[in-house]
């Protein structure tokens, strides 16, 4: 057990929402429908090519869907700092102690406009770890870099960080 793990003040685990899955399944349905239409229009193409199209239209989205189910943003405030990890990209938590932060505050942001979407993103406002929604806590790190941590409970996260300041 890591130091501070037993004194968690705030904890949040976020996963990508169902809408990602629905978009993916819609793409699969569209690809399969397009393959059937294409096959009916082009009898010259053999069944093997048609089968490959259908297999890729099902297997590739299924693998991507499984990967999306595995992704999660974990945020914890412990007595010795803020811990964040975007699993499976971060095997270990990234720790931000009080000395690492110039300031932090709860805020609203525009995921697509400010950071280019969701995930681990680099945008005109700095770096972001976000999964869904439009709220988070903006960190201004000691070196002047900005890091946004997306949260469905941004106010609570900022208050928990206040308690360890």
Question: Which tokens sit at 30?
Answer: 């569209």
| Nearest-angstrom CA–CA distance, 149 and 131 | 9
Q: CA 150, 112, 160: angle at the middle one, nearest 5?
A: 10
Q: What is the pLDDT of residue 31?
A: 73
Output the CA–CA distances (angstroms, integers) from residue 39 to 25, 36, 42, 47, in the order listed.
Answer: 21, 5, 5, 8
Residue partners of 47: CB distance under 8 A and separation at least 6:
none
First to last CA, the chain: 23
Q: Which residues contact 104 (CB under 8 A, 6 or more apart)?
A: 137, 138, 139, 140, 158, 161
- Give pLDDT, residue 40: 59
Q: What is the largest CA-CA distance in the chain?
A: 70
Domain ranges of the chain: 8-14+71-164, 18-70
pLDDT at site 109: 95
pLDDT for position 59: 76
Q: SS3 string of 82-141?
A: EEEEEECCCCCCEEECHHHEEEEEEEECCHHHHHCCCEEEEECCEEEEECCCCEEEEEEE
Reading the chain (165 residues) residue by residue, the pLDDT tens digits are 455 456 899 999 999 876 666 776 677 777 777 766 666 555 556 667 767 777 777 777 777 777 777 889 999 999 999 999 999 999 999 999 999 999 999 999 999 999 998 899 998 889 999 998 899 999 999 989 999 999 999 999 999 999 987
So what's the pLDDT on residue 57?
72
pLDDT at 1: 44
pTM: 0.75
């Amino acid at each position: 057990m890591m130091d501070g793990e037993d004194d968690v003040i705030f904890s949040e685990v976020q996963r990508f929402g169902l809408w990602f899955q629905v978009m993916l399944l819609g793409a699969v349905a569209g690809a399969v429908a397009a393959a059937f239409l294409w096959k009916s229009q082009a009898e010259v193409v053999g069944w093997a090519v048609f089968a490959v199209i259908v297999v890729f239209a099902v297997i590739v989205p299924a693998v991507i869907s499984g990967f999306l189910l595995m992704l999660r943003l974990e945020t914890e405030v412990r007595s010795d700092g803020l811990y964040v990890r975007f699993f499976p990209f971060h095997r270990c938590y990234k720790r931000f102690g009080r000395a690492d932060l110039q300031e932090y505050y709860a805020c609203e942001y525009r995921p697509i406009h400010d950071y280019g979407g969701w995930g681990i993103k680099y945008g005109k406002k700095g770096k972001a770890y976000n999964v869904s929604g439009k709220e988070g806590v903006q960190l201004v790190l000691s070196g002047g870099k900005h890091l946004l941590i997306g949260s469905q409970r941004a106010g609570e996260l900022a208050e928990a960080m206040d308690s360890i300041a």
